[in-house]
């Protein structure tokens, strides 16, 4: 990767700032080192992994069951669930599931 970042790359990378993923400096550092910064669709506040986890929450799986299903540690699932709550602006599993139903996530399949 060249040392100069394209304007398009920088502009697209600003979206994560709005989702609390990092400061502009952190994002630029990650990009300059060739790392990718995930940019979700503007109308979807969740990453693909968070969408999978939310779907499994909707169908009633516990964090332990989600961890087993996705081959993740329970701590990783716990952190993802916490981030899902933050991104959706909810404070409980019940409210996250309700949000999912209201936004059509109950029909989504885990990728």
Average pLDDT over residues 47-59: 93
In the chain, % helix, strand, coil (3-state, to 5) comes to: 60, 0, 40
> Among 22-26, 35-39, 75-79, 93-97, whose mean pLDDT is lowest?
35-39
Give domain 48-107's CATH number out of 3.40.50.720, 3.40.50.300, 1.10.10.10, 2.30.40.10: 1.10.10.10
Strand, coil or helix: what is 108?
Answer: coil
Domain residue limits, the chain: 1-39, 48-107
CB contact at 8 A, 100 and 54: yes
Poorest-confidence range of 4-18, 36-50, 71-85? 4-18
| Res. 2: pLDDT tops 50 | no
CA distances from 83 to 72, 79, 92, 96 (A): 16, 6, 11, 11
d(CA 107, CA 44): 15
């Amino acid at each position: 990767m060249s040392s100069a970042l394209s304007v398009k790359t920088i502009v697209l990378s600003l979206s994560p700032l709005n989702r609390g993923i990092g400061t502009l400096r952190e994002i630029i550092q990650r990009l300059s080192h060739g790392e990718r910064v995930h940019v979700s669709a503007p109308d979807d506040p969740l990453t693909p992994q968070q969408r999978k986890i939310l779907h499994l929450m909707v169908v009633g799986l516990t964090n332990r069951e989600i961890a087993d299903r996705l081959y993740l540690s329970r701590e990783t699932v716990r952190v993802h669930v916490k981030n899902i709550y933050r991104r959706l602006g909810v404070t409980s599993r019940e409210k996250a599931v309700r949000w999912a139903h209201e936004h059509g996530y109950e029909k989504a399949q885990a990728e």
